């Protein structure tokens, strides 16, 4: 196999990335990052669930690393997956496993953008306790079909020594016009719940994922900024930095349940493992200010 360098030492071959998820948010940002860093990359044209098409991509591109940012999250949200279960399985389960298997056969590290929405606060990890779920913890949230498929795949991928699984949560970027951006979503909701959560600031963490590929890191990583932030804290920052007239209304989880099909995951992920590898990683609120609110600042008072 070709994973001798998985102890974190970089290989000397010039980098060439094969990226799946060209039309997705993370896939698009990855391409831009590669361009800005001068990294050679190609978007895969094969369908994840079609093994020969993936093998053809690998043969044509001859990459050093493969990135999987493809997957079904559902439009407008994960409720879509509840009524499209086979389509969800085809991409999120069959497709992801096929890509991991092809990469293993070819001796390639696969950086797989997964989700941390497979946990929910429980008696061992109470809300507000600061005790986060660790990489080796067993998922305890199967409230949505989307999360259920993601937990299944993560468990199976543990057996693939060539895969680096990154648990992304409630992704945020400086692009406040993007409808996938968690901040954009909650500023447009009629009402929001107010629960502290681990979240992923893509502007800070996506470059780290490229660095992880260079170091040939494998295994599972909680891919969020350290600490938690609540919906209200984010909306207060939004008001202070972007729109002083902005107002919002809260509602309870019970009230939210009446307007969504599938329950949503709320949790804190432990980031000790990621911090050991990248000590410069900012806590969530600092990262929000540096990467999202300061660059978009429209007020003078904040």
Task: Mention every residue, 6+ apart, whose C-beta is less than 8 A from residue 125.
Answer: 119, 131, 132, 133, 267, 268
4 inside domain: no
Structural contact between residues 92 and 153, judged by C-beta atoms closer than 8 angstroms:
yes
| Strands 16-20 and 219-222, sheet pairing | unpaired
The secondary structure element, H or E, covering residue 96 is helix 96-105
Structural contact between residues 168 and 200, judged by C-beta atoms closer than 8 angstroms:
yes
6 inside domain: no
177 φ, ψ (degrees, to nearest 5): -95, -10
Tracing tokens 């990489």 back to the chain, one arrives at 135
301 inside domain: no
Give residue 165's pLDDT. Answer: 98
89 inside domain: yes
Give residue 132's pLDDT. Answer: 98
Q: What is the CATH number of the domain that holds 183?
A: 3.40.50.720
> Average pLDDT by consecutive 10-residue portion of the chain (302 residues)?
48 88 95 98 96 98 97 76 92 96 98 96 96 97 90 96 97 95 93 94 98 98 98 96 95 84 89 98 98 93 53
299 inside domain: no
Give residue 78's pLDDT. Answer: 79
Give residue 2's pLDDT. Answer: 45
- Stated pTM of the model: 0.93
260 inside domain: yes
1 inside domain: no
10 inside domain: no
Looking at the 3D structure of the chain, how many domains does it have? Answer: 1
Give residue 11's pLDDT. Answer: 54
* Residue-range definition of the domain harbouring residue 94: 16-294
């Amino acid at each position: 196999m070709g994973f001798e360098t998985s102890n974190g030492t970089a290989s000397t071959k010039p980098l060439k990335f094969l990226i799946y998820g060209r039309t997705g948010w993370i896939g698009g940002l990855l391409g831009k990052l590669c361009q800005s860093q001068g990294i050679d990359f190609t978007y895969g044209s094969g369908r994840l669930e079609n093994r020969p098409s993936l093998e053809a991509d690998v043969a044509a591109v001859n990459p050093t690393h493969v990135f999987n940012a493809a997957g079904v999250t559902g439009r407008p949200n994960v409720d879509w997956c509840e009524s499209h279960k086979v389509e969800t399985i085809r991409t999120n389960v069959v497709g992801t496993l096929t890509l991991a298997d092809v990469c293993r056969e070819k001796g390639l590290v696969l950086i797989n953008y997964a989700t941390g929405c497979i946990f929910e606060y429980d008696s061992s990890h109470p809300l507000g306790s600061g005790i986060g779920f660790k990489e080796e913890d067993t998922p305890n949230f199967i409230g949505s079909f989307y999360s259920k498929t993601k937990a299944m795949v993560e468990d199976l991928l543990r057996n693939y020594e060539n895969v680096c699984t990154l648990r992304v949560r409630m992704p945020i970027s400086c692009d406040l016009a993007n409808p996938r951006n968690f901040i954009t979503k909650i500023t447009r909701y009629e009402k929001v719940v107010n629960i502290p959560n681990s979240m992923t600031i893509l502007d800070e963490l996506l470059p780290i994922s490229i660095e992880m590929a260079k170091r040939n890191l494998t295994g599972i990583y909680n891919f969020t900024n350290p600490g938690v932030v609540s919906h209200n804290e984010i909306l207060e920052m939004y008001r202070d930095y972007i729109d002083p007239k902005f107002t919002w209304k809260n509602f309870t989880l019970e009230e939210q349940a009446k307007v969504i099909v599938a329950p949503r995951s709320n949790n804190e992920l432990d980031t000790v493992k990621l911090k050991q590898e990248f000590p410069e990683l900012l806590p969530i609120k600092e990262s929000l200010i540096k990467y999202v609110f300061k660059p978009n600042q429209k007020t003078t008072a904040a």
